[in-house]
Amino acid sequence: MRSLIAAAAIACTVSSAAAQSDTTSAVYRYRAAIAALLELKPGMIAAEVGATPGVIAPEMKPQVAANGEVISAGLDRTTGTTDLKPASVDAVALIETLTVVDAHTSLFASIGAAVKPGGVLLVVDVPQENDGKRTIGLEADDVVKLATAAGFSREAESGIVPGHYAIRFRKK
């Protein structure tokens, strides 16, 4: 009985923390499914880049096993650059970042330089919306164009996260 009460308390804490933003809560609820879309394997080096990195990193770690590595990459929101080194990662999850970065071309170029040939880029974000005050998000077609220009080809799409697109790309 005590474990059920503890589990309920943890669920309420997680639920209230995640409820701060509808989009963040959707990503949080579907974090295991998002990590699975990366198709990670033991020994890989994977990175999560996002407005709040570390959301899916814990789900990625078991997939790369003890000899792999998961990085929560730093991001300069003004320039769109990451702190990832060139050709240093096998996979990148770009989670809800296009809404907070204006320099999309630089962001995709930075990630394109960091991902090894044959590596994966997964973009999970919201379609473009305008509430009359500001525009957030980026259309999926624009994401495909940016990723293609950065050396990726579209491999798969998923609607697993409500209100979001999830597009997996492969580095050429």
The pLDDT tens digits of the residues spanning 25-72 come to 889 999 999 999 999 999 999 999 987 778 899 999 999 998 999 999
Where do the domains of the chain lie, and which CATH numbers do they carry? 22-171 (3.40.50.150)
Question: Do the beta carbons of residue 130 and residue 1 sit within 8 Å?
Answer: no
Sign of the alpha-carbon torsion through 77, 80, 85, 90: positive
pLDDT value at 12 more than 60: no
Supply the angle between the helices 2-18 and 22-29 in degrees, to the nearest 10. 140
pLDDT value at 16 more than 60: no
**Predicted pLDDT at 100:** 87
pLDDT value at 14 more than 80: no
pLDDT value at 168 more than 50: yes
